Structure 1
C-alpha cells in the first residue's frame, strides 16, 4: 500500500488513518557564545571552541 492511501488497492475498503503524534522536542543546549547546538556531554563547543559550563548554556525550546 502507498503511504497516504485512503483506500485498499486490493478490495477498496477504507483505510483507517492513524492520528498524528505531536513531535516531542528534545531539550537542546546551545552555546552562549555562538548559539550553535551542543553535543551531549561536550566540554567545548565544536563550532567556536568556548568551554561549556552549566551556567553558560541555555536550553532551546
Structure 2
C-alpha cells in the first residue's frame, strides 16, 4: 500500500470516528431533551460547547 493511500485512509477513519461520536452525543442529548422540563436551548448549549461550534450555534439560534 502506498504511503499516501495509507495516510488518506487514516484521516478518513479519523473523521468518520469523529462524526460517529458527535452523532452519538446528539442522539443521547435529544433523548434527554424529551424527558427534561428545561428549555431546549439550555440543553443543547453544553453539547455545542463540547463540539466547539458555539459561535456558529449562537449566530444561527
TM > 0.5 fold call: no
TM-score of the aligned structures, taking structure 2 as reference length: 0.28
Larger fraction in helix = 2
TM-score of the aligned structures, taking structure 1 as reference length: 0.28
Please tell me whether Structure 1 or Structure 2 has the larger radius of gyration of its CA atoms: 1
Larger fraction in strand = 1
